Structure 1
């Protein structure tokens, strides 16, 4: 009964099932305490109660279940102490109590469970005490040992190495002290050692011998020693650690010495963090051999010398932190080869020379570029406009000169710009008016002049503006950010006047009226009059022309409809939605609300009106993107835009809205995850309906990617953006993040690494700054498939500690597939009473297999949309015809269906599943 969304308490009568051997109640919403009667189930070998909402304490009678081999209570709300009776579970191999509120010490009897291979008590935060000195002898079969984030203290026992099968040790977030046992080097199968955030030390003379000993652990992949009290000189033996090492964390300690010149031996490192220490000397050139690095952080040390040019070899690098040290010389041009960088911080060093144009041409830089507090000179290269996705630029406190480059206006998602403390001159370029999403601006301590641009008061998101110590003149604007004196600094500009009274600036002088002024006034008045007459004439001409065109249109069609994209005004939409009444709200998105409306009171044509909140940064861009994306596309599975409105409201504020066809059955999200107050409504999608919707969405993606001229990537595919009409036909909508692609060799791409989408559905390569591609939409589609048939959002609270929705399904695939399938799909519906349970399960296993393939971490391993459509049709045909695995395999081998890695990886196991009924393998 796992994953059936059961709620309420576990009934006391459960103790009557005395012959039960396996009980799965995990992944539900069970609450209340664990009934003591559960101890009557003395034949139980597996008891899974994890991921519920159970409260109270663990009943002492649990010790009666002496046949238990697997016992999991993690991710609940259990409190109190661990009962001593748990030590009677002499056969238990798996014991998981993590993510509860347990407190007190661990009963000594638990440390005598010699059959344990998996012990997890992490994230309970209140368990305390020390580890027994003989733990390795007492638990000789231990393979995984998780105690992270508790209050354990004392030394790490030397005997831990006697548990020679240990692969994963996680003791981080505690108060362990003393040295790191060098005996850990005997654990030849050790893969992960997490000792971060403790009080571990390296005392002379043998404090660092553990590191040399760990070189014997040839399977070691992750070593995290962050935030301890490690001191002394870093030994060169660090370069002799396992070549399988992927993550090495030694940050925030007191380590001194030089980085070994042989650090390049760790060729498979993906993460190297040694920041927040006292390392000195130069960065070894061998660092360039770590070609798999994604993150390198050597900041906050005492490193000196130049940045080695070999750093340009790290082409996979996403994050580079070399800040707050004593690095000097020029920034190497080779750094521009690191085209996957999304975060670059070289601030607070002694770097000189100019800013290489290659650095500001890394178009994937989407989070932060900081060169602040150095001695850089010369202008900011005009290529700065290549950083179209960057959020934060910091060039402050250097010796940069010239004018502020107008190409900064091309950094359309820029939120923070700091150029203070330089030698810039000239005025603030008017082109910056396009940076509508800007939030913080610092132009202070330069030689800038001219008037303060009025467009700054139109930046609705701007909350910090520093213009101090320049040569600005004239009147200070009053609106926008200037209305908040605490958010603006203009001191040190002696020629400014007016503005917010709280700025205490002198009043602006009024110019006396004289002949010269009077003549200018006459000219202005005459010019204005002539212009007004011309405008009236032009207006009359347009009215006559429109009337004639209207007559011609009327002769062609006496009843014009919305489908002809007639223009609508703000007033029309006010009337249609009853003044944008809250009663008419049918949805809320990232950039506005959607209202139900009736444009023509004499018509029955109901529409949906999406009104954008232009106060939100990026809202205008999504409006333009949506209009551009849908203006030339037509498909039965795409939501049709009827018309748009770009106008002003009754107060003169900008107003933008999009009018769509109204979808009577709302969004797919409404059906998959009905709100609590909608439980009374019969919103249930059976297996056939969900499969049809999946095929509809696949057709829509295939059209966007391959059949609509210039390929389009949707970039925000999720259940709330899939609307269902009267016939439950799916229509993909919301193209606010859509991107047009250019065809490049064998793949599609566009330089838009600063993608904004929805967490949980965004392809992982986007998070590393990779280019937008159709593969990203396929990943989102894979997540969508898994969500549709498991009923779990990718952001469900259960997905923590690295667990994701695809991993959750993979771990159950295929032997425990019914544990992850949406419970509604395992219960026959009224219109499908004859549905064969095993056949339905097999069908959903095939669908989940497609979802796993589409959500593969590697873009190249994901299916193409045409293959997705073919395979889903095969699944549907087999289901409707009561097909079996053998028939489908024949179809696949004939070339009618796709062949993917997931087929090869699960072929044998999946064959077993589909040739065996659920009752047999359960």
Structure 2
């Protein structure tokens, strides 16, 4: 009985203990469901979060004693806000939500989690300020908020978290200084505040962080000096204060006080004084980056730095001779070496041959180095970039350089090299940029350079070359940036093979002894922006074929023997500068374009000009009718034509509805190429009556249907039926017809047929029929989480990017007309069965050519610029003009989207932050934080991905003139793809 009474008396206590436990378990489950309800889950990461399963078995949930203690949901594609219910998970010790798309503020309820040790919200879109009451979370060990949009000041209260080991706040929008209270966190091992928009001085209190190992303060606006005490924290291995406005000197004993130093990054500041010789004691160092400062004195002994990989000292005031290179003989991991733009002298030692076999970058330009290039340079077979320019080097080029088969860039201009330019350069077939300008080379230009089929730019100007221009060089269709042979003694004619340079932007053959006529084949160089032929003995007339050079901005034909009149087409080009002075030209001066700007046109020293604008002060031309008289005659001719034409149109319209609906569409014959002849009835049957089940996609101007033609082969096609009720639909139909009708390319959607007819109710019907692409759009492969659309590999993305670039390049330069797409975006890129990408949807296309009929030209130009938000370049206004550089911008955004898996309209991009700036600010060191998390990290070749993203950044520059030309994009991507597959 006594036991029974004791049991009964204990029951209230038992219920008191057990009821809250059940309630708390239920609270955890309800809190998790509340978290889910505030999120979008496109990848289905939270599918298991339902009441049919115990919450402790839900994905990303870790429990102990049936209570939630950890939430791990990184890289899950989650979108939305972080619910305040997070504060109800009272036993949480770890929250890991990095690399998602969370937005909005960090809920203050998170400060209720007093057991919290790890909080990682990095690489999201959180806004607002850091909650100040985090001081309630006294167990916190790690705070990671990097790559968000957090603002305001870093809370001073963080200094009262006694166990904090890591503060990772880089790449946010904070303001103000570093709180001095951070120095109170004596447990801190990592302080990462890079690119946070902080300012002020670095607080002295940070010197109290005696356990600090990783210090990143780069990319801010810090002023003053680095507190001396920071250089005495022996545990530091990563020290980055680059890109600020700091000054002062590096302590002389840094190599002793920082024995564990692996990276010293102080570039782009105002540091001065010598580079301490004690740096040689830091035997673990891998990165020394001291560029763009005011360091003086000699280069210290580097003999003991056996692990050094990157040594950057460019743009300082260092004075030394180059013998210090000998001290790097033991640095077997050295990859990049840059001491350019200093005051270095002496000669390159023979010990250059002892540098690391892994070295791929060697920059010594803009110094005072003299002597020969050592024979041993041929041992550095992995060199990729060499810049020897702007020195006092001389002598002959050593034949051993023929072993540098990996060279992509070789700059040796502005030296005193002499003799003949050896044919060995023809063996360097990977060369993309070769400058040997401003030397004393003589003899013939070696024809072996024609083997360098990857060349993008070649500059041999300001030498003593003689003989003729090798035809082999003119056949290098890869040359797209510049070909400069100016200021030599070359003679003979300009080879007709110059027409092979279709992608070339600048050609300079000036100040030579070239004669005969300007070749008509020059008209094929449709990408030319700058053409300099002045100072030769050219004769004959300016060829009319040059009218096809629609992108020409500067043309200099001065100081030749050209004759005849000035072609009127020069007034139609977009020339910003034209120099025809000192020739034998005569006749009427045009009055359009560049000829209206006195400061932009130069016509002195010719025989006899007349006409032109008043500012040119030429006498009026005799026997020439006034413009009013011409206009009067023109109207007298045009009015009867217009009247008759109008009557014809009325008659044609009146007979329109009498056409047989079973007859093939008559518009097919007007396209100019052989297309299938399909009637409205054919298309109605092929699409199962334009059934919704056949719809592949819906756009503004119509729907696209999958169709099976009744042609005996069951050919599958895609039919785009135009919605003529939408304003501008007919114009997009015409634009697409004209753009696609006369072109064929592997990377452009092929037009199978065009139907411009009436349906069975006598309503207008217009449709375009394309080849069917089995794998749908690129947009679906990037952003659709359907199992049918698996993640694209790196190689696949590179192949697709190259396909797109090649398609655009062909549009711009590969057909008889320059076609501007105007609406490039992933949904307009289609993938066939073999994942070959094709550019499609030419509804906003414009054909920039004077070869087209006037009716078609006007129809193109009247299309309003619509495009798609995020992909439209900034220079396109409501009434702006489409341009090829606009397409380049759109391609750049697509490329960045392909490798980050972030749309340009992502909520992460607000205010001044856009996809372009998001990527450019992260390169090169923040690559892993921005690339698509679906990419196989093990397959990544970091330097190649950086190069790809750099292409996207260059293409999407705000200023159109700064954008990378599409022909160069194709060449660069092809090279990257080849390297990636090796």
- TM bucket (normalised to shorter chain) is 0.5 to 0.7
Deviation at 1:261, TM superposition (A): 2.4
1:406–1:157 distance in 2 versus 1, CA, 3 Å: same
Are the counterparts in 2 of residues 261 and 286 from structure 1 also a CA contact under 8 Å? yes
Are the counterparts in 2 of residues 786 and 806 from structure 1 also a CA contact under 8 Å? no
State the distance in 1 between where 2:220 and 2:753 align.
Answer: 49
1:165 is aligned, of 284, 288, 292, to 284
State the distance in 2 between where 1:112 and 1:610 align.
Answer: 74
**Does structure 1 residue 40 correspond to structure 2 residue 156?**
no
2:360 is aligned, of 223, 229, 246, to 246
1:111 is aligned, of 227, 231, 237, to 231
Q: Could you list the per-position Cα deviations for residues 523-548 of structure 1 after superposition, in whole angstroms to 9, with x for gaps in the alignment?
A: xx9xx99x999989996997699569
Corresponding residue of 1:384 = 498
2:209 is aligned, of 66, 69, 89, to 89
Deviation at 1:561, TM superposition (A): 14
Query: Equivalent residue of 1:408, what SS?
Result: helix
1:563–1:82 distance in 2 versus 1, CA, 3 Å: farther
1:111–1:236 distance in 2 versus 1, CA, 3 Å: same
Query: Equivalent residue of 2:297, what SS?
Result: strand
Corresponding residue of 2:784 = 690
Query: Equivalent residue of 2:507, what SS?
Result: strand
**Does structure 1 residue 18 correspond to structure 2 residue 138?**
yes
2:596 is aligned, of 468, 479, 483, to 483
Corresponding residue of 1:180 = 299
State the distance in 1 between where 2:650 and 2:557 align.
Answer: 52
**Structure with the larger RCO, 1 or 2 (CA within 8 Å, 6+ apart):** 1
State the distance in 2 between where 1:90 and 1:731 align.
Answer: 58
Query: Equivalent residue of 2:916, what SS?
Result: coil
Deviation at 1:858, TM superposition (A): 8.6
Are the counterparts in 2 of residues 697 and 731 from structure 1 also a CA contact under 8 Å? no
1:105–1:718 distance in 2 versus 1, CA, 3 Å: farther
Corresponding residue of 2:349 = 235
With normalisation by structure 1, the TM-score equals 0.67
Corresponding residue of 1:808 = 929
**Does structure 1 residue 130 correspond to structure 2 residue 249?**
yes
1:149–1:479 distance in 2 versus 1, CA, 3 Å: same
Corresponding residue of 1:274 = 388
Deviation at 1:505, TM superposition (A): 1.9
Q: Could you list the per-position Cα deviations for residues 339-371 of structure 1 after superposition, in whole angstroms to 9, with x for gaps in the alignment?
A: 101011111111110000011111111110000
**Does structure 1 residue 796 correspond to structure 2 residue 917?**
yes
Corresponding residue of 2:544 = 430
2:334 is aligned, of 220, 241, 250, to 220
Deviation at 1:66, TM superposition (A): 1.4
State the distance in 1 between where 2:448 and 2:655 align.
Answer: 61
State the distance in 2 between where 1:179 and 1:632 align.
Answer: 56
1:283–1:79 distance in 2 versus 1, CA, 3 Å: same
| Greater C-alpha radius of gyration | 2
State the distance in 2 between where 1:553 and 1:299 align.
Answer: 71
Corresponding residue of 1:875 = none
Deviation at 1:496, TM superposition (A): 1.5
Q: How does 1:419-818 map to 2 (within 5 A)?
A: 419-459=533-573, 461-510=574-623, 546=652, 550=656, 552-553=658-659, 556=662, 605-606=725-726, 624=739, 628=743, 690-692=784-786, 695=789, 713=807, 721-722=825-826, 733=840, 758=888, 782-783=898-899, 785=901, 795-797=916-918, 799-800=920-921, 802-803=923-924, 807-809=928-930
| Structure 2 residues without counterparts, runs of 5 or longer | 1-120, 673-698, 703-721, 758-765, 770-775, 812-820, 830-836, 848-883, 949-976
Corresponding residue of 2:372 = 258
1:140 is aligned, of 255, 259, 264, to 259
State the distance in 1 between where 2:327 and 2:737 align.
Answer: 56
**Does structure 1 residue 323 correspond to structure 2 residue 323?**
no
Are the counterparts in 2 of residues 322 and 347 from structure 1 also a CA contact under 8 Å? yes
Query: Equivalent residue of 1:280, what SS?
Result: strand
**Does structure 1 residue 99 correspond to structure 2 residue 219?**
yes
Deviation at 1:208, TM superposition (A): 3.4
State the distance in 1 between where 2:504 and 2:824 align.
Answer: 28
1:361–1:632 distance in 2 versus 1, CA, 3 Å: closer
Are the counterparts in 1 of residues 518 and 543 from structure 2 also a CA contact under 8 Å? yes
Query: Equivalent residue of 1:128, what SS?
Result: strand
Are the counterparts in 1 of residues 177 and 200 from structure 2 also a CA contact under 8 Å? yes
State the distance in 2 between where 1:688 and 1:247 align.
Answer: 35
1:373–1:209 distance in 2 versus 1, CA, 3 Å: closer
Q: Could you list the per-position Cα deviations for residues 214-238 of structure 1 after superposition, in whole angstroms to 9, with x for gaps in the alignment?
A: 1221111111001000122332222
State the distance in 2 between where 1:492 and 1:377 align.
Answer: 24
State the distance in 1 between where 2:349 and 2:134 align.
Answer: 59
Query: Equivalent residue of 1:283, what SS?
Result: coil
Q: How large is the RMSD of aligned CA atoms in angstroms?
A: 5.2
State the distance in 1 between where 2:317 and 2:610 align.
Answer: 58
Corresponding residue of 1:876 = none
Are the counterparts in 2 of residues 147 and 172 from structure 1 also a CA contact under 8 Å? yes
Q: How does 1:294-373 map to 2 (within 5 A)?
A: 294-373=408-487
Deviation at 1:106, TM superposition (A): 1.1
Q: How many pairs are equivalent?
A: 701
Deviation at 1:803, TM superposition (A): 2.4
Query: Equivalent residue of 1:115, what SS?
Result: coil
Are the counterparts in 1 of residues 214 and 239 from structure 2 also a CA contact under 8 Å? yes
State the distance in 2 between where 1:688 and 1:327 align.
Answer: 52
Q: Could you list the per-position Cα deviations for residues 316-354 of structure 1 after superposition, in whole angstroms to 9, with x for gaps in the alignment?
A: 111001011111110001011111010111111111100
Are the counterparts in 2 of residues 713 and 738 from structure 1 also a CA contact under 8 Å? no
Q: Could you list the per-position Cα deviations for residues 407-451 of structure 1 after superposition, in whole angstroms to 9, with x for gaps in the alignment?
A: 111111111111011001110111111111111111111111111
Deviation at 1:690, TM superposition (A): 3.4
Corresponding residue of 1:200 = 318
Deviation at 1:718, TM superposition (A): 12
